[in-house]
């Protein structure tokens, strides 16, 4: 048991390998192997596709009578995973590939067609050069020229790569960025000039050729002052209008003074002839009071619009006989007191 996993086995001193009997096996004997499909194929019986690299338990055998430069050709047997049909393929030492033999066809591969075309072209060239030395010389000359062209192209590519390695990447990027900035600035200036020309053409007066003045930043102060003055005027006009409306709605009384708005005074009791001890002063004539009221109204500013006109002044009442008698006696008493 100790020698089960070692690499070297023990051979006795008298060991002779020629004395070991050899088994005689048939040349076409098959062996069971485990393999993967070397190419994608399609079963000709059921149409099942078998992908490249699929694992199968296969049987392997030698192909009698077929070899390439002493290399033996082998055949493999597998079964379709769907219909269990037998599929065989064998090795191709000449192309280092495999060839489908029976039960399946190989799927289309474009590079295999190119290889076949190149192989056919080489065969035709070899047949043409076999009995024609001049044709062989021409072909070799063309091949030499083609190789020189390829070498020149490779040298040019190497020189270009060397120049690219010597170039400073940061400098190139800075130049590209700066060029982009200059182009954007030039485009912006061009657009501004176009807009100015268009504005001048639109705002130009067709009669006298004058240009409409544009508002600049320096005119903001003047606009602010003008707006403040206009606001003050509007506020004063509103206040004056409100005062006039209030005065027009208030009760108008005829008084001796210049008071225009005054509360309503209580009415005095009319004098009678029995009240002889009461001193009654003489009233001012109605004409004088009316003229004073008219003068005061004329002095006041006349409103532009009024909702309701002021009420007319009250008419002067005629004095009675008793009032005239009382006034006469009152004057005589005042004269006697003065004397």
* Per-residue 3-state assignment (H helix, E strand, C coil) for the chain: CCCCCCCCCCCCCCCCHHHCCCCCCCCCCCEEEEEECCCCEEECCCCCEECCCCEEEEEEEEEEEEEECCEEEEEEEEECCCCCCEEEEEEECCCCEEEEEECEEECCCHHHHHHHHHHHHHHHHHHHHHCCHHHHHHHHHHHHHHHHHHHHHHHHHHHHHHHHHHCCHHHHHHHHHHHHHHHHHHHHHHHHHHHHHHHHHHHECCCCCCECCCCCHHHHHHHHHHHHHHHHHHHHHHHHHHHHHHHHHCCECCCCCCCCECCCCCCCCCCCCCCCCCCCCCCCCHHHHHHHHHHHHHHCCCCCCCCCCCCCCCCCCCCCHHHHHHHHHHHHHHHHHHC
Cβ contact 49:40 at 8 Å: yes
To the question of whether residue 46 is assigned a binding role by annotation, the answer is: yes
Q: Provide CB contacts within 8 A for 323, sequence distance 6+.
A: 271, 280
To the question of whether residue 43 is assigned a binding role by annotation, the answer is: yes
Cβ contact 273:303 at 8 Å: no
To the question of whether residue 61 is assigned a binding role by annotation, the answer is: no
Joined together, the tokens standing for residue 182 give 């200059």
* Annotation: binding site: 43, 46, 80, 83
* Annotation: binding site for Zn(2+): 43, 46, 80, 83
């Amino acid at each position: 048991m100790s020698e089960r996993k070692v690499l070297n086995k023990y051979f006795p001193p008298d060991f002779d390998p020629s004395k070991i009997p050899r088994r005689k096996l048939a040349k076409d004997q098959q062996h069971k192997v485990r393999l993967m499909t070397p190419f994608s194929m399609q079963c000709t019986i059921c149409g099942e596709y078998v992908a490249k690299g699929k694992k199968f338990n296969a049987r392997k055998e030698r192909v009698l009578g077929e070899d390439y430069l002493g290399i033996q050709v082998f055949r493999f047997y597998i079964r379709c995973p769907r219909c269990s049909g037998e599929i065989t393929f064998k090795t191709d030492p000449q192309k280092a590939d495999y060839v489908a033999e029976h039960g399946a066809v190989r799927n289309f591969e474009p590079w295999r067609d190119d290889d076949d075309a190149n192989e056919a072209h080489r065969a035709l060239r070899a047949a043409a050069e076999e009995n024609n030395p001049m044709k062989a010389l021409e072909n070799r000359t063309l091949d030499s020229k083609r190789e020189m062209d390829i070498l020149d192209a490779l040298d040019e590519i190497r020189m270009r790569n060397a120049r690219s390695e010597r170039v400073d990447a940061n400098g190139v990027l800075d130049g590209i960025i700066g060029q982009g900035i200059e182009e954007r600035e030039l485009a912006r200036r061009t657009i501004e000039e176009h807009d100015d020309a268009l504005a001048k053409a639109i705002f130009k007066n067709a009669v006298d050729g004058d240009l409409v003045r544009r508002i600049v930043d320096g005119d903001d102060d003047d606009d602010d002052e003008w707006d403040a003055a206009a606001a003050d005027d509007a506020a004063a006009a509103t206040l004056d209008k409100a005062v006039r409306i209030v005065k027009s709605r208030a009760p108008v009384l005829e008084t001796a003074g210049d008071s225009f708005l005054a509360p309503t005074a209580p009415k005095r009791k009319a004098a009678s002839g029995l009240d002889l001890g009461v001193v009654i002063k003489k009233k001012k004539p109605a004409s004088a009071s009316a003229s004073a009221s008219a003068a005061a109204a004329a002095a006041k500013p006349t409103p532009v619009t009024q909702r309701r006109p002021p009420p007319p002044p009250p008419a002067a009442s005629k004095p009675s006989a008793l009032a005239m008698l009382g006034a006469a006696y009152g004057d005589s008493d005042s004269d006697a007191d003065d004397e």
